[in-house]
Amino acid sequence: MPRKKTHLLDFLDWETYKILSALNKEPLSFTELQKVSSLAKPNFDARLKALLSLGVVEEILVDTPDSKYKKKKYTLTDFGRYVFKRLEDILREAESKGVVVVT
């Protein structure tokens, strides 16, 4: 039986990189964030919950100009920005060595 994924390294794959990359640019809603991922909705939901519980992503409330209510969005924590920066460094190094090609 496969072990349960519980550690950050369990989730460091291309899908997580795309999520972190999008959040590094700006806070996004669940729907906006799901569009950058190719994961099915249940898998995306589980991935986002894992990133929240690992302290990489956090929920924030943002004012919306067309409503009196705030909208829930997701953003990187300081730790999430650190993780993303390290992933970018690794990706650049892999590209320079011809180990991986990002299209």
Measured CA distances, 4 to 1, 7, 48, 49, 70 (Å): 9, 9, 16, 14, 35
The confidence score (pLDDT) of residue 2 equals: 66
Torsional sign, CA 24, 25, 31, 36: negative
User: Which CATH code for domain 8-96?
Assistant: 1.10.10.10
Q: Are 26 and 53 in contact (CB under 8 A)?
A: no
Region of 55 on the Ramachandran plot (φ > 0 left; ψ -120 to 50 alpha; else beta): left
The confidence score (pLDDT) of residue 101 equals: 67
- pLDDT at residue 63 greater than cutoff 80: yes
The structure's pTM equals 0.85
Chain CA centroid to CA 16, Å: 5
- Give the mean pLDDT of 53-62: 96
pLDDT in tens, 13-42: 899 999 999 999 999 999 999 999 999 999
- pLDDT at residue 1 greater than cutoff 80: no
The confidence score (pLDDT) of residue 66 equals: 81
Query: Of 96, 74, 92, 94, nearest to 25 (Cα)?
Result: 74
Percent composition of the chain: helix, strand, coil (DSSP 3-state, to 5): 50, 15, 35
pLDDT class of 76 with cuts at 50, 70, 90: very high
- pLDDT at residue 11 greater than cutoff 90: no
- Give the mean pLDDT of 66-71: 85
